[in-house]
């Protein structure tokens, strides 16, 4: 079980891109803690989303932290661009390059919080030697590249392993993929405190529904059996 505050991070990958600024403003008003920015390159993952220029264009819409998840390889050459575009947290994949420690150092040198992500087939042990160099660990609970996928149940075991690795360190544990109000409690019980949700919040792209959906995930994650 997590002892850190639960944070809900809607993924704008599921937003209506024709009115992206309005969608970000709406999700801010709906109670989002972070704005999760999924960046895909069509190389590291089989899809392309958007880059730093688009992110910079929506930065002024909200003061909420931009939680930037870079699903790109190689990644180091782009860290400065996303830092300059307004990222608050920059997460890179353990699988995206040969020098993970160097990438994490570069993010912190830019004055940003550093995160490390691991794909479903990557063991938690892959990040044990950089755990003191990160502010956030992201466990992918789907194979990255597409929204709307179902949560991989084994991810709960990985979350527990990651929580054990984190121990008493001041590190957020994030989960991304298939998060809904139905599984949010199990996810929080496994140790995650930052829950990324895309289609379960943005489905239908009706901003009038966002607040209830954010609240439903938060309430489920924070509920406890008496």
Catalytic annotation, residues: 38, 176
CA distance linking residue 71 with residue 49, whole number of Å: 10
Across 44-179, where does the E strand assignment appear? Answer: 66-71, 89-93, 113-118, 136-140, 172-176
Cis status, amide bond into 74, omega within 30 of 0: yes
Longest CA span, the chain:
50
Burial class (CB in 10 A: 0-12, 13-18, 19+), 169: exposed
């Amino acid at each position: 079980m997590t002892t850190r505050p639960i944070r809900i991070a809607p993924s704008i990958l599921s937003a209506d891109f024709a009115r992206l600024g309005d969608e970000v403003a709406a999700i801010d008003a709906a109670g989002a803690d972070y704005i999760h920015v999924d960046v895909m390159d069509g190389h590291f993952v089989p899809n392309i989303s958007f880059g730093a220029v688009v992110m910079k264009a929506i930065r002024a819409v909200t003061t909420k932290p931009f939680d930037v998840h870079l699903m790109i390889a190689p990644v180091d050459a782009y860290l400065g661009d996303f830092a300059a575009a307004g990222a608050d947290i920059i997460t890179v994949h353990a699988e995206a390059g040969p020098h993970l420690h160097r990438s994490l150092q570069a993010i912190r040198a830019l004055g940003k919080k550093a995160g490390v992500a691991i794909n479903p087939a990557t063991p938690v042990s892959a990040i044990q030697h950089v755990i003191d160099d990160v502010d956030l660990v992201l466990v992918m609970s789907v194979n990255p590249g597409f929204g709307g996928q179902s949560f991989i149940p084994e991810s709960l075991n990985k979350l527990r392993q990651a929580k054990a690795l984190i121990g008493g360190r001041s590190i957020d544990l994030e989960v991304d993929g298939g998060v809904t109000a139905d599984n949010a409690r199990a996810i929080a019980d496994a140790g995650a405190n930052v829950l990324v949700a895309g289609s379960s919040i943005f489905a239908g792209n009706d901003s009038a529904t966002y607040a209830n959906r954010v609240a439903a995930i938060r309430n489920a994650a924070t509920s406890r059996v008496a």
